[in-house]
């Protein structure tokens, strides 16, 4: 075999080997990424607008969200998951702030961090009106703190 032929085949062989390893690694990561998530849905309906009072936000424990309803401004939904390490924050009507029980983060009612280790404001997520007249929340869609749904 000629030196050149040998080197060409050798390079091609090694290249294929590395490509195969790369593809396999990709396949492993993809295999481990579930195609179906068996967990509480991230896109769900929470009831009709009339279910929610004006004033202090309503806390939905299973969905871990706060539903705000304002006379002029309409609906907004904040995630109750603390941006620090994922504990569930509580809303205090006394000071109109969110308090995290875990490491003391405090958030203003617009979600901004006031105290504590939380690095980011609370997340606001999209709320829309579904065709059947129910409110639909999509946790996969993060919106700005000024997002409002007028009904």
Partner 1 sequence: MNPFRDVWQSIFRRDPLSTDKGKSELVFLNLWLHIHPAKVHKEHFRVKHTGYLGFLTFYLFLVLVTTGVALMFYYRPHPPEAYQDMKDLRFVVFLGPFLRNMHRWSAHGMVICVFLHMCRVFYTGSYKRPRQFNWVIGVALLLLTLGLSFTGYLLPWDQLAFWAITVGTNIGSYAPVIGPGLRQLLLGGHTVGESALLRFYVLHVAVLPSAVVLLTMVHFWRIRKDGGLSRPLWKLRAEGSPPLVRIGEPAEPELRAVVLPAAREKTYGLMEVVRGKPLFEVVASAEEEEEEKDVVFSYPYAFFREGIALLVTVASVMALSLFWNAPLEEMANPAKTPNPAKAPWYFLGLQEMVSHSALIGGVVAPALMVLALVAIPYLDSNPSRRLSERKWAVWAFTVFALANVVLIIVGTLFRGPGWALVPPWVHIQGAE
Q: Which two tokens stand for residue 108?
A: 């203003």
Task: Give the other-Cβ count within 10 Å of 49's Cβ.
Answer: 16
Specify the residue, 78 or 149, whose C-beta has the smaller distance to ligand FES: 78
Secondary structure element (H or E) that encloses residue 107, with its range: strand 106-107
Query: Of 1-9, 13-21, 31-39, 50-58, which part binds partner 1 (CB under 8 A)?
Result: 31-39
Query: Of 26-34, 60-68, 114-122, 127-135, which part binds ligand FES (CB under 6 A)?
Result: 114-122
Smallest gap from Cβ 29 to partner 1, in A, equals 7
Q: Find where tokens 């929610």 sit.
A: 52
Q: What angle do CA 125, 130, 131 make, to 5 degrees?
A: 165
**Residue 87 is a binding residue for ligand FES (CB under 6 A):** yes
Binding site for ligand FES (CB under 6 A): 82, 84-87, 100, 102-105, 116-118
């Amino acid at each position: 075999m000629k030196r050149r032929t040998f080197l060409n085949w050798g390079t091609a062989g090694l290249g294929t080997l590395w490509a195969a390893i790369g593809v396999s690694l990709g396949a492993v990561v993809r295999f481990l990424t579930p195609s179906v998530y068996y967990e509480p849905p991230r896109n769900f309906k929470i009831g009709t607008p009339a279910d929610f009072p004006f004033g202090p936000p309503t806390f939905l424990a299973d969905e871990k969200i706060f539903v705000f309803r304002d006379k002029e401004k309409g609906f907004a939904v904040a995630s109750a998951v603390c941006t620090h390490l994922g504990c569930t924050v509580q809303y205090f009507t006394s000071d109109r702030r969110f308090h995290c029980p875990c490491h003391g983060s405090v958030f203003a009612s617009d979600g901004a961090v006031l105290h504590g280790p939380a690095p980011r404001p609370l997340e606001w997520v999209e709320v829309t009106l579904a065709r059947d007249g129910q409110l639909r929340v999509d946790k996969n869609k993060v919106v700005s703190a000024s997002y409002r749904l007028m009904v």
